[in-house]
Structure 1
Amino acid sequence: MIVWLNGTHGAGKTTTSALVQSLLPHSRVFDAEKVGETLMDITPGLPETDNFQHWPPWRPLVVETARHILDYTGGTLVIPMTVLIEDYWREISAGLAHHAIPVRHFVIHADQETLRARIDADAVLGPSPFRLKYLESYAEAARTWLREEGEFIDTTHRTPEQAARQIADAVNS
């Protein structure tokens, strides 16, 4: 199965995914961003974009990579990846469903003030204009389609450990 951790930048997906992995036996983290990085390395290059998710090959490559990893390893893949465009999520989830791969879709959520503070205080990436520019599109997705598609885990006043435990308990129930 796949445990997909969605949400905007700064919500805590990466931190939470490692903790979820430690709580779910036979699980491993698959960072779908690596698929985007592979596409970015193609030269002379793909069409100019501000986000590799806009390249049509990214979505089916994520599906196929996840499928092949699961076929090889079994168990559970924990995928921390922001997907804020509903059509992109539908394409990915339909592709996984086509291969009969069950998906638990969690949205790691925090209020806008908390997200800004986390992004500004990030010790690894530092304040990031790229990450900040997605706050509004996240807010819109969270108000609309994400509410129907994902299980919200509000991390505004919750530690990553508490969020991971809530996700692991939900998956195991």
Structure 2
Amino acid sequence: MIIWLNGTHGVGKTTTSSLVQRLLPESRVLDAEKVGEVLMDIKPGLPATDNFQHWQPWRPLVVETARRVLEYTGGRLVMPMTVLVESYWREISAGLSEHGIAIQHFVLHAEQDTLRERIQNDEDLGPSSFRFAYLEAYAEAARSWLHNDAEVIDTTHLTAEQSAEQIVASVLGRRE
């Protein structure tokens, strides 16, 4: 099984994924961004883009990497990764489904003011123009398809620990 944590950059996916992993036995975190980093390291580089998700190989490589890791380890993968392009999400989720891999899709959501404050005050990365640039794309995806396709966890007034607990409760079929 894959527990996919979606949501805009800066909402807390990476932090929450670590906490979810600690709460779920036999789970591991697989950050699909690492697949993008592999592609970015190809020399000479691939065609210019502002986001490695636009490179066609990224999506099937994410599917294949997750499949192979699950085949090798069993258990669950917690995957924190922003995917705001619906066709990209459909390609990834269909690819995983074709291999019989169940996906529980969550969106970590926060109100725009909260997101801006979190990004501005991030102690690890500092203010990030990259993260700010995706706020509108996230809002559009949330309105048009993303919130209808996942279980939304509104983190506006939650700690990362509380968000992780809600996710784990959902995965284990408990209501909190």
Q: TM-score by structure 1 length? A: 0.99
* Residue 5 (1) aligns with residue 2 (2): no
Deviation, structure 1 residue 159: 0.6
Q: Distance in 2 between the 1:84 and 1:93 partners?
A: 13
Q: Distance in 2 between the 1:71 and 1:106 partners?
A: 23
Secondary structure (helix, strand or coil) at the match of 2:66 reads helix
For 2:119, the equivalent position in structure 1 comes to: 119
* Residue 86 (1) aligns with residue 81 (2): no
Deviation, structure 1 residue 142: 0.7
Alignment of 1:1-173 (within 5 A): 1-173=1-173
Q: Distance in 1 between the 2:147 and 2:40 partners?
A: 31
Deviation, structure 1 residue 163: 0.5
Unaligned runs of 5+ in 1: none
Q: In the TM superposition, what whole-angstrom CA distance separates every residue of 1:94-151 from its partner, at most 9, and x where no partner exists?
A: 0000000000000000000000000010111110101100000000111120122110
Deviation, structure 1 residue 153: 0.1
Secondary structure (helix, strand or coil) at the match of 2:161 reads helix
Q: Distance in 2 between the 1:58 and 1:147 partners?
A: 23
Deviation, structure 1 residue 21: 0.3
Q: Distance in 2 between the 1:141 and 1:24 partners?
A: 29
Deviation, structure 1 residue 10: 1.0
In structure 2, give the amino acid aligned to 1:41.
Answer: D
In structure 1, give the amino acid aligned to 2:53.
Answer: Q
Deviation, structure 1 residue 79: 0.1
| Structure 1 segments (4+ residues) deviating >6 Å | none
How many residues of Structure 1 are paired with residues of Structure 2 in the alignment? 173
Secondary structure (helix, strand or coil) at the match of 1:147 reads helix
Unaligned runs of 5+ in 2: none
